[in-house]
């Protein structure tokens, strides 16, 4: 059964939201979702063309800063620049990552460290950058994008699955530390989501059929469904939800 009557969250109107990796894929669906709710969204991304294009499409509800999130000093500068323009961030969506495949035999220490920097480290430092402003504003919501890949025991990308398992620990640890300031920290674990990149790289007819058979719900999952869970967790409707792990995978894991 499908419906066009999706959630509307008055508490998100005017809220300042930061989305890392918001230029494309799930991040772009999240950005569009927040703008539709009347929030003020700032994107951090290193895909300048896609970020500028999306911000142009969305008009005054969306701003962006170029940032390679592997560079923590650049991340801190970009968060400060967006906060200066939009006001203190009270919703942070730590979304950016790259699921590049790699054989375990080929991983060097440099590659391992680079994968952690791209898939996990920036999430902690983004939280560290926005938490004081959230505390001063009386609270906030952090949503970290994990993955069901490590839960399912997927192979072929151990540095990615390790980082994604780390998102779980980051979420629960920081939820404890920031709870007294009324900052909620949750994780959303997508299953296989049909972004442009996934469709281009991995979506053979056989793989899509196998995934549908694995899921309880037999439809492929559009990024908008992940965005809807993120909107809920950002809103005041989720006021007592923290340290939670919310799965959006059609029952596939
Ligand atoms: N698509 C899926 O099937 C799926 C499944 C499980 C988890 N996820 C998670 O969902 C999140 C979004 O994934 P997606 O599929 O939309 O990815 P995507 O590759 O389609 O988009 C990622 C975005 O992040 C940006 N980005 C990546 N690394 C960056 C960096 N170092 N600095 C700045 N920007 C950077 C990219 O430019 C891009 O705009 C990720 O955390 C991913 O691990 C996705």
Give residue limits of the domains in the chain. 10-195+222-247
Residues 31-46: b if buried by 16+ CB within 10 A, e if exposed:
bbbbbebebbbbbbbb
**Cα gap 87→40, rounded to integer Å:** 9
**27 CA to centre of ligand 1 in angstroms:** 7
CA-nearest residue for atom 34, ligand 1, is 45
pLDDT tens sequence across 82-114: 999 999 999 999 999 999 999 999 999 999 999
pLDDT tens sequence across 134-166: 999 999 999 999 999 999 999 999 999 999 999
Ligand 1 nearest atom to the CA of residue 149, by list position: 6
Q: Is the CB of 147 under 6 A from ligand 1?
A: yes
Please state the pTM of the whole predicted model: 0.98
**Cα gap 87→102, rounded to integer Å:** 40
pLDDT tens sequence across 45-82: 999 999 999 999 999 999 999 999 999 999 999 999 99
Local structure of 133: helix, strand or coil: helix
For tokens 């799930």, what's the residue?
A: 26
What single DSSP character describes residue 118? I
Q: Is the CB of 253 under 6 A from ligand 1?
A: no
> Among 46, 97, 191, 208, which is best to mutate for testing ligand 1, by the most ligand atoms less than 8 A from CB?
97
What single DSSP character describes residue 12? G
Q: Which CATH topology does 10-195+222-247 take? A: Rossmann fold (3.40.50)
């Amino acid at each position: 059964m499908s419906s066009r009557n999706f959630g509307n969250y008055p508490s998100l109107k005017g809220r300042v939201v930061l989305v890392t990796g918001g230029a494309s894929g799930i991040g772009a669906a999240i950005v569009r979702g927040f703008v539709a709710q009347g929030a003020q969204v700032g994107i951090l991304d290193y895909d300048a063309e896609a970020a500028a294009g999306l911000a142009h499409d969305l008009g005054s509800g969306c701003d962006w800063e170029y940032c390679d999130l592997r560079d923590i000093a650049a991340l801190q500068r970009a968060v400060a620049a967006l906060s200066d323009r939009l006001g203190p961030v009270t919703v942070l969506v730590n979304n950016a990552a790259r699921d590049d495949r790699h054989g375990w035999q080929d991983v060097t220490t440099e590659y391992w460290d680079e994968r952690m920097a791209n898939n996990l480290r920036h999430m902690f430092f983004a939280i560290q950058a926005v938490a004081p402003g959230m505390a001063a504003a009386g609270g906030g919501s952090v949503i970290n994008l994990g993955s069901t890949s490590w839960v399912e025991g997927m192979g072929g990308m151990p540095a990615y699955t390790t980082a994604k398992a780390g998102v779980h620990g980051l979420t629960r640890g920081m939820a404890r530390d920031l709870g007294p300031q009324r900052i909620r920290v949750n994780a959303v674990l997508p299953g296989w989501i049909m972004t442009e990149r996934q469709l281009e790289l991995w979506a053979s007819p056989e793989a899509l059929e196998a995934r549908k058979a694995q899921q309880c719900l037999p439809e492929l999952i559009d990024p908008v469904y992940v965005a809807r869970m993120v909107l809920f967790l950002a809103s005041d409707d989720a006021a007592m939800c923290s340290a939670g792990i919310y799965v959006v995978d059609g029952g596939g894991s």
